[in-house]
């Protein structure tokens, strides 16, 4: 298996596990990048609504060949489909939904997460960026924030740390972290390891995490 294939499988694995965070009745925002992949794994029996900050309420799965509408995009400028009951609004109305705390859940990507729930996911100093996007509003407006990302960087360094080194998106905003290796909850007592992905051990998770971990009494192993 090539490195690219392995990375693609990891991303699908994370997105599929993140889908389990969505419940029927939820209004959900999916961040740009890997979080948008979650839409392809949502179970049909879940009656929920995906919201995009660019003004689409009712995002569907990614379009198949022949279904692509270049005018139908999400906030990351990726082409999407719309559900049968979808509606459209201005970005101003969309952000009123976000700032009005009408989102039950936001699943976002992350560069770094600190043990107290601080999140850094909008820029790396010295790199050209298009702007901060809507993440700063979303992390303070959604009722629950789940961050999905690889457990370590491409250089093998931990992305879950005692303190973030990159510019923050929000302080103390993260509730749960889902990586290719584990599911970790952010609590008042510290980071709690609740699930271990297939192919990894508790010791490997502890060694690849840059902050102390509390092992849950109800730890699930090989859970995804």
Instruction: Give the catalytic positions in this structure.
Output: 53
Q: Residue 41 in contact with residue 19, Cβ under 8 Å?
A: yes
For 2-124, where are the E strands, in sequence order? 27-30, 49-52, 56-59, 82-88, 105-109, 112-114, 119-120
Q: Residue 141 in contact with residue 191, Cβ under 8 Å?
A: no
Query: To which residue do tokens 């879950």 refer?
Result: 160
Q: Residue 65 in contact with residue 40, Cβ under 8 Å?
A: no
Cα distances from 31 to residues 52, 54, 66, 145, 180, in angstroms, run 8, 11, 25, 11, 18
Cα distances from 136 to residues 37, 56, 171, in angstroms, run 21, 19, 10
């Amino acid at each position: 298996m090539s490195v690219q294939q392995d990375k693609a499988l990891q991303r699908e694995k994370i997105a599929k596990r993140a889908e389990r965070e969505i419940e029927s009745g939820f209004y959900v925002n999916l961040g740009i990048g890997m979080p948008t992949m979650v839409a392809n794994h949502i179970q049909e029996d879940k009656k929920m609504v995906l919201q995009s900050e660019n003004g689409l309420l009712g995002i569907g799965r990614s379009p198949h060949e022949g279904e692509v509408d270049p005018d139908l995009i999400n906030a990351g400028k990726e082409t999407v489909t719309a559900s049968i009951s979808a509606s459209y609004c201005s970005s101003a109305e969309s952000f009123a939904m976000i700032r009005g705390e009408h989102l039950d859940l936001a699943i976002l990507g992350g560069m770094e997460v600190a043990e107290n729930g601080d999140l850094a996911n909008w820029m790396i100093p010295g790199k050209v960026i298009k702007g901060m996007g809507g993440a700063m509003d979303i992390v303070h407006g959604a009722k629950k924030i789940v961050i999905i990302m690889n457990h370590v960087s491409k250089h093998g360094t931990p992305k879950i740390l005692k303190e973030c080194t990159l510019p923050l998106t929000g302080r103390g905003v993260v509730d749960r972290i889902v990586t290719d290796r584990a599911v970790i909850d952010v609590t008042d007592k510290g980071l709690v390891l609740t699930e271990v992905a297939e192919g990894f051990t508790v010791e490997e998770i502890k060694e690849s995490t840059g902050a102390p971990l509390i092992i849950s009494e109800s730890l699930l192993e090989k859970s995804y």
